[in-house]
Amino acid sequence: MMINANFKNHFTVQWRSFAQLAFLDRQTSGLLIFLAIALVSVWSAFAAIVGVLINNSLSLIIKDYTVQEWKLGIAGYNGAIVGMYWGDSIFSIKGLCLFLVTLLLCLLIEFRLRALLIPRQLPILSLPAMASILLIVLTISLFSLDTNHLLFEGAAEPIFQTYSREIAIILVVSAMAYQYPLATLQTLGISLTGGLIAQWITGLSLYVLVDLWAINLALAYFSIKTLFLKHYRLATLAATFNTLLAWVIWYFWLITGLEQLSAPLLIPFIMSSLITLSLFKRYKNHNLLQSELWRTFQLLLTNRLRAKQCVAITGSGIRKGTLPDYPSGQWLDPKVPITSYTLAEFKTSKRCRYLYWKASFDYYQQALAINKNNIDKQLDYLLNHYLSGLFTETVDSLFNTEQHPVYECYGSIKRLYCLDCAQQQAWPPIPLWLQRDLHCQHCSGLLKPQILAADENIDPQCYQALQTNMVECGCLLVIGVPTITSVVSMIIENANSNKTPIIFIGTLPLGYFVEEKDIQLTGDIAHWLAEINWFINVLHPLKWSYKWKK
Ligand SMILES: [Zn+2]
């Protein structure tokens, strides 16, 4: 029983090695691919199976592969390629020796490459087979000067006189479609297009170019799509790029005369895949590769065409690391209960007034010490070119308010106001509030820093502006807002009830669930705003169609 199970296991592994030639792992697929090889050349198929057997057995003994890799047939497929290459030559003593030497070299290179590429999370592909074949062929050509009889031009014996290649291609495509129907269809489309373009440019017939479109381009697309980047949203883009790159490398091979030295074999596919995968690892998080950014661009474009404006609300996220969050009360003394900082207490208790002034003055000092950061510069640009209004939860008055309206929802730490007549004035140069209450110059009412206390309502003017801005709003930007405060909740609910799309930049407010229409640009706020401003600049020629609304 044990022996039987083991034997069955070994049997399956050999077929899977053939399946791995097309990045598949089913036994049936391997059988179909083996038949396809046999259709083109019986002896290649025979030599390939010898190569697979030797590689799989040796890798078991040398233990360079994990059992899992061995079971998937990954240990053997390079042997299949070496076998396919030498094919009918193995019936001469010279040919057989060359085949075995290449296979040995292939194994050695494979072990070295695994040590080199696996830590870099790059696949080995058929690089060992290609490298060993090229090395042997070049060595022979140095001595015997004639490689022609050793290359593919040998007397390959197809099973049928005609249509062998066609049936072989159908078999391989069936094996691929059996496991990944949609990816196979896309692969067919893109590799045939590549083949036709090559035919048009080089004047060679599609039949001669079969190694390009049926092997290199097909593998370049299929492997990325079904294996290497299977679970990534950018898989199609990366696969298309890989196919294009493989085509370019193949063409380079052709025009530089490398073709005279050796056929490109699988080299275009291997090189392009290693380049594509390295680039992907490096740039997958780049802003321009995020689909959410492209959704944003699409939204900005439709808004511009519909002459719609955009409203933004910013939170303490734009002051991260420099100023405490205002609405959550991070700036207050944590030892004092928050109820001591209400307007009611400010009016009645002298002690509470003192606490309020003290906390406010600390915050004022901190606000004075900071300058505009990169986010402010990007926001200024956005305000000048795209926004109809900017609402902010920050109280530091750092925005340019001369040309366009900026609404500080909670007031400004940089001003004082009278509780009776609402007249505003600047902070006095000396901290008089430590000794006595400050009074209004006009009506001698109590003065208070012009920021909202916990029990104060938002300024009616700001509220009115918020309502009117939202009526014409084509999209709402929520920038660096960490939590849902009453103001944020009001503006978001307004957008949601009008089905206005919301773009969250920086972080998503805690506990908020985005809707289908919304966009999330998480991470560096200044970077995202720079991309948005760049696109607004691109839209500049469309400016004639939009009217500025105050
Ligand atoms: Zn007054």
CATH of the domain at 376: 3.40.50.1220
Chain centroid to CA 370: how far? 34
Q: Which residue has the tokens 């085509």?
A: 247
pLDDT of res. 518: 93
Mean pLDDT of 274-284: 91
- Residue 154: pLDDT above 50? no
Distance in Å, CA 423 to ligand 1 centroid: 6
**pLDDT digit string, tens, across residues 518-546:** 999 998 999 999 999 999 888 876 654 44
Q: Do both 126 and 3 map to the same domain?
A: yes
Q: How far is the CA of 152 from the centre of ligand 1 (A)?
A: 98
pLDDT above 60 (res 32): yes
Beta strand segments in 200-323, E: 309-314
Residue 371: CB partners within 8 Å, gap ≥ 6?
Answer: 398
Query: Which pLDDT does position 42 carry in this prediction?
Result: 87
- CA angle, 402 then 478 then 505, to 5°: 110
Do 259 and 307 fall within a single domain? no
pTM of the model: 0.67
* Structural domain total, the chain: 4
**Cα dihedral: 517, 521, 527, 529 (round 10):** 30
Cα–Cα distance for residue pair 482/267, rounded to 1 Å: 51
Task: Provide mean pLDDT across the span 142-155.
Answer: 54
| Cα–Cα distance for residue pair 442/69, rounded to 1 Å | 85
> Which CATH number characterizes residue 435's domain?
3.30.1600.10
Same domain, 147 and 290: no
Pairing of strands 309-314, 387-392: parallel
Q: What is the DSSP string of 352-376?
A: HHHHHHHHHHHHHHHHHH----HHH
Mark whether 384 and 483 lie in a shared domain: yes
Closest alpha carbon to 165 in 219, 208, 195? 208
Domain that holds residue 365: 325-369+411-451
Q: What is the CA radius of gyration of the chain?
A: 35
List pLDDT tens digits, range 222-270.
Answer: 999 998 998 888 899 999 999 999 999 999 998 998 887 778 888 999 9
440 marked as binding residue: yes
pLDDT exceeds 50 at position 1: no
Ligand 1 centroid – CA 400 distance (Å) = 27
- Three-state SS at 313: strand
In order of 147, 225, 490, the CA distances from 219 in angstroms are: 27, 10, 53
Ligand 1 geometric centre to CA of 32 (Å): 91
From residue 15, give the alpha-carbon distance in Å to each of 12, 224, 226, 350.
5, 22, 19, 88
- Close Cβ partners of 152 (under 8 Å, ≥ 6 residues apart): 85, 263
- Class of residue 178 by CB neighbours under 10 A (exposed 0-12, middle 13-18, buried 19+): middle
Centre of ligand 1 from the C-alpha of residue 463, in Å: 23
Domain endpoint, select from 144, 177, 210: 177
Q: What is the pLDDT of residue 530?
A: 94
Provide the pLDDT for residue 3: 47
CB 239 within 8 A of CB 220: yes
Q: How confident is the model at residue 146 (pLDDT cuts 50, 70, 90)?
A: low
**How many Å lie between the centroid of ligand 1 and the Cα of residue 443?**
4
Enumerate residues 6+ apart whose C-beta is below 8 A from 284: 232, 234
411: phi then psi, degrees, rounded to nearest 5? 85, -165
- Collapsed DSSP state (helix, strand, coil) of residue 264: coil
In a domain, 478, yes or no: yes
Phi and psi at residue 414, to the nearest 5°:
-90, 0
CA of 450 relative to ligand 1 center, distance in Å: 13
387-392, strands of its sheet edge to edge: 406-408, 387-392, 309-314, 473-479, 502-506, 519-522
Q: What is the pLDDT of residue 153?
A: 43
Residue 352 among known ligand-binding residues: no
Mark the residues whose beta carbon lies below 5 A from ion ligand 1.
418, 420-421, 423, 440, 442-443, 445
Q: How far is the CA of 435 from the centre of ligand 1 (A)?
A: 20
62, 99: one domain: yes
When mean pLDDT is compared across 202-211, 269-278, 497-506, the lowest value belongs to 202-211
Domain membership flag for residue 235: yes
The amino acid sitting at 98 is: L
Domain end position, chosen among 157, 177, 197: 177
Domain shared by 185 and 216, yes or no: yes
d(CA 207, CA 190): 17
Q: Do 396 and 524 share a structural domain?
A: yes
- Determine the 3-state secondary structure of 30 from DSSP: helix
- 533 in Cβ contact with 385 (< 8 Å): yes
Residue 486, domain member (yes or no)? yes
Highest mean pLDDT: which range of 5-14, 79-88, 243-252: 243-252
- The mean pLDDT of 30-53, rounded to a whole number, is 91
Quote the Cα angle for 124-127-132, to 5°: 135
406, part of any domain: no
Confidence of residue 307 (pLDDT cuts 50, 70, 90): confident
From 162, 177, 192, give the residue that closes a domain.
177
Cα distances (angstroms) measured from residue 37 to each of 57, 100, 159: 22, 20, 10
Weakest-pLDDT range from 8-22, 200-214, 255-269, 535-549:
535-549
pLDDT > 60? residue 548: no
Mean pLDDT of the chain: 87
DSSP string covering 272-315, please? HHHHHHHHHHHHTT-GGG-HHHHHHHHHHHHHHHTT-EEEEEE-
Question: What's the chain's length in residues?
Answer: 550
Span from the CA of 350 to the centroid of ligand 1 (angstroms): 19
Residues 112 and 100 in one domain: yes
User: What is the 323 CA–ligand 1 centroid distance (Å)?
Assistant: 30
Q: Quick one: pLDDT at residue 207?
A: 83
pLDDT value of position 232: 85
Q: Does residue 109 form part of some domain?
A: yes
Contact residues for 472 (Cβ-Cβ < 8 A; gap 6+): 308, 309, 388, 549
> 436 and 537: one domain?
no
The residue among 2 and 16 whose pLDDT is bigger is: 16
Q: How far is the CA of 448 from the centre of ligand 1 (A)?
A: 11
Strand order in the sheet with 411-418: 424-425, 411-418, 447-451
Q: Report whether 97 belongs to an annotated binding site.
A: no
Q: Residue 92 in contact with residue 44, Cβ under 8 Å? A: no
pLDDT of residue 292: 87
Pairing of strands 411-418, 424-425: antiparallel
State in Å: Cα 487 to ligand 1 middle. Answer: 27
pLDDT at 248: 96
Q: What is the pLDDT of residues 424-435, one digit of tens each?
A: 888 988 888 888
pLDDT average, residue stretch 424-448: 88
Question: Degrees (nearest 5) of the Cα angle 94, 95, 97?
Answer: 65
Same domain, 102 and 160: yes
Q: Which residue has the tokens 């070119």?
A: 385
The pLDDT, as a whole number, for residue 137 is 83
Whether residues 387 and 517 fall in one domain:
yes
475 SS3 class: strand
- Statement: residue 334 has pLDDT above 70: yes
Are both 111 and 87 inside the same structural domain? yes
Distance 269 CA to ligand 1 centre (A): 79
The arithmetic mean of pLDDT across residues 285-292, rounded, is 81
